[in-house]
Structure 1
């Protein structure tokens, strides 16, 4: 990465302590937003009963968060480059925390959905700049690999931990506490961020305050996420029309960026085949993992008959495995073998785990049919995610670090939403078809989930093949031997 005259000042704290303290603060803020994306899943039946949501309406408890979150990440990342990443991070934390309280106190469907939308906006504002701050705080490759491993461990484990906390809080207290728990965490994280994070002035809005471009890309991304998450509840014609409109907005944005004197998004960013390929791999990999997490939880509940708390406990080995491997081995392994090889090894484990799940029977057991693939998937993700993150961010210049961070987070949301929509729709279609043929409910449900897991295996194979072909030549052999990414 290089620094140009337009680059925002690199953060170079004089004490090692301040850098690692900053990492803790960034991870705490990220953990809160990631937990919220998953903690709702197990509490959905309780929310539906309490507030009287219909089946399609209940989906918007999740969708109302995902649409602004996915739509605003790219804009928030670029604004972080322009006005300062610390400002964006602390503002996002404040908005997210306030909206969490509103969601926790909600007594109507309208208030809850509105609060979730504001949560999504705050989460995007805080999350979009974190990776950009990390690569500035830790420019040395070995330390950067360690920092990214810690950050990735928090993010990956946080997703699985959300399932456990959602079940525990809902069953022992009430669903309101899955949101109210963010209040003390958010206040502590905000106060620590104000004290620990070094200020950044940014390049200035005049360096890229393209408001028409911002409106186009935000609208395009929000519409894309909306099309994906709502695809199962509307007819094909409406979905295609909305998808066409999203593509038109993307085309208009591209033309705008090519012509604008000071574009919001420098199109040269996509000339980095490393960055572009890493993001494409991430879409397939995250689509697989999101599908497993959601459908795996449903399999444990609806086929194996686990309750809310037991489901949370069933997935607890995932964050433990991910945390131990990422914190204990990830950075060292990348240093020994290089990010490319570690990524491929991780994807191979993910493929194996999904392939095992695709055999899960209607009369299965947790120990034999869920735990082994759960451990394989956790180990694979622990290896693949830090390696992929390092490869993606190494393909961006310093002045574009915030934007690259926003782009990487955006592809996570798009990949997760796409994987979840595709796999859950396939599972539901297969189940309904078998029920019409007279199959039993549990048998039909298990068959639907097996189909989803099989397609998820295909997505993981696609991620591995793309990584093997597109990322190999982008990291010089000598660099791989030194473990430098």
Structure 2
């Protein structure tokens, strides 16, 4: 495995690409009013500027991860980066709603190919142990920073330039990354022809199932029993059940190799990732954004700045402290401790009310649950990618990203349902949403007890 100077260049490329992927989940949100005014979107169609990206991103992650294994991480990374950058250019120049929605969907497809490739590049470049831990800590920190900075970057670009800049900014970054990747990334060793056959039935079922689930979740505000919600959710579940049958009994080269689930780190780690994603992936940002904008009456730019402490504390804990701790304590211990600390922070956050203000209502709880999140992120990412062969690194990365996305989507949908935000006439029940998040994190801490206890350097 390559480390040192070449490893540093690979890590920089992986982080730059991952930053683009996670940033574009939210960077366009604050620009939606400007987009609606300029391109003539209806209120119903405007949501698809955001949902078009999420739909294809969530639906194609498993397929994107496996493609990197079968056809080489360098080739798939370059293809995903080129597709993402080209779609950003088309979206930034769009003159009508249909063109912009199509471009956002194409961006999501490129992101679904790119995100697993970035993670598998890191895990195959750095050997298990302290070097990989530090690399994954950096990759995770960039993911957290990108997700948190989306509203801030989007607000600044929209206010000082144009909504188009939220998409066009990806073009020069993508071009530089493509040039660098072509020079830095070595070609992967080709697999035997029989190993490169894509599991077409499994790919269709997984993509259809995940896409239907994602679409159904976006309609949860209409109610869980609404046909627009219930039908796609039921279809998605049925497709994924059939997918598991095809993978385990009929597929010669499965999209998700069954042996991955015989690895306790991967099986239990993804269960924990699902629960953690249900609190941190989208719900936290959603409810705190509502509070800052609807209760504290912050602008989009002020709201983005309000999230800076969350980002800084998470990065400090995850990038600076956790790699050192992992040499002295097991990853399992840090995951359990991080989940329980974050749960305590969400209990504190549940005491928020209209008179709390920023310092008591946002900053104090943020320090606690962001520290807990930072403490568990790196060891959890390390755990769900541990013990994976290089030929299955993409599948493991795709599975991890898919688990995180599904956790975030269903966590947000469930919390919206119990907090009353699906009813525009009802006040938002912040206390219930954050207490439920705390309960989910306690469950994550309990589930983490099933993980193997390993420290950096253990084999």
What range is the shorter-chain TM-score in? over 0.9
Provide the rounded CA distance (Å) in 1 between the counterparts of 2:225 and 2:218.
14
Provide the rounded CA distance (Å) in 2 between the counterparts of 1:423 and 1:62.
20
Q: Which of 218, 222, 225 is the aligned partner of 2:214?
A: 225
Cα pair 1:76 1:124 within 8 Å, conserved: yes
* Distance of aligned partners of 1:376 and 1:47 in 2 relative to their CA distance in 1, 3 Å threshold: farther
Deviates more, 1:104-113 or 1:237-246: 237-246
Provide the rounded CA distance (Å) in 1 between the counterparts of 2:422 and 2:386.
42
| Partner residue, 2:263 | 272
Question: Is residue 2:327 matched to residue 1:346?
Answer: no
Matches within 5 A, 1:443-462: 444-445=427-428, 448-462=429-443
Matches within 5 A, 1:203-222: 203-204=191-192, 206-207=194-195, 208-222=197-211
The normalised TM-score by structure 2 is 0.93
* Distance of aligned partners of 1:329 and 1:374 in 2 relative to their CA distance in 1, 3 Å threshold: same
| Partner residue, 1:152 | 140
Task: Write the deviation string for residues 378-412 of structure 1: whole angstroms up to 9, x where unpaired.
Answer: 22221111110111111433321110011001111
| Partner residue, 1:285 | 276
| Partner residue, 1:262 | 253
Provide the rounded CA distance (Å) in 2 between the counterparts of 1:194 and 1:205.
24
Cα pair 1:228 1:418 within 8 Å, conserved: yes
1:113 to partner: Cα distance:
1.1
Deviates more, 1:391-400 or 1:229-238: 229-238
Cα pair 2:385 2:397 within 8 Å, conserved: yes
Cα pair 1:170 1:178 within 8 Å, conserved: yes
1:414 to partner: Cα distance:
1.0
Cα pair 2:277 2:407 within 8 Å, conserved: yes
Q: Which of 124, 139, 154 is the aligned partner of 1:136?
A: 124
Task: Write the deviation string for residues 81-101 of structure 1: whole angstroms up to 9, x where unpaired.
Answer: 111011111111111111112
Provide the rounded CA distance (Å) in 1 between the counterparts of 2:29 and 2:434.
19
Matches within 5 A, 1:225-244: 225-233=214-222, 236-238=225-227, 239-244=229-234
Q: Which of 301, 325, 329 is the aligned partner of 1:309?
A: 301
| Partner residue, 1:195 | 183
| Partner residue, 1:122 | 110
* Distance of aligned partners of 1:483 and 1:347 in 2 relative to their CA distance in 1, 3 Å threshold: farther
Question: Is residue 2:377 matched to residue 1:385?
Answer: yes
Cα pair 2:62 2:255 within 8 Å, conserved: no
Task: Write the deviation string for residues 326-378 of structure 1: whole angstroms up to 9, x where unpaired.
Answer: 33222111112121111122112221221122111012211111011222232
Secondary structure of the equivalent of 2:181?
helix
The normalised TM-score by structure 1 is 0.89
| Partner residue, 2:396 | 404
Cα pair 1:56 1:233 within 8 Å, conserved: no
Provide the rounded CA distance (Å) in 1 between the counterparts of 2:371 and 2:20.
23
1:235 to partner: Cα distance:
6.0
Cα pair 2:26 2:151 within 8 Å, conserved: yes
Two-structure CA RMSD over aligned residues (Å): 2.0
Deviates more, 1:334-343 or 1:143-152: 334-343
Structure 2 unmatched runs, 5+: none
Provide the rounded CA distance (Å) in 1 between the counterparts of 2:143 and 2:294.
27
Query: How many residue pairs end up in the alignment?
Result: 455
| Partner residue, 1:5 | none
| Partner residue, 2:411 | 419
Structure 1 unmatched runs, 5+: 1-11, 435-443
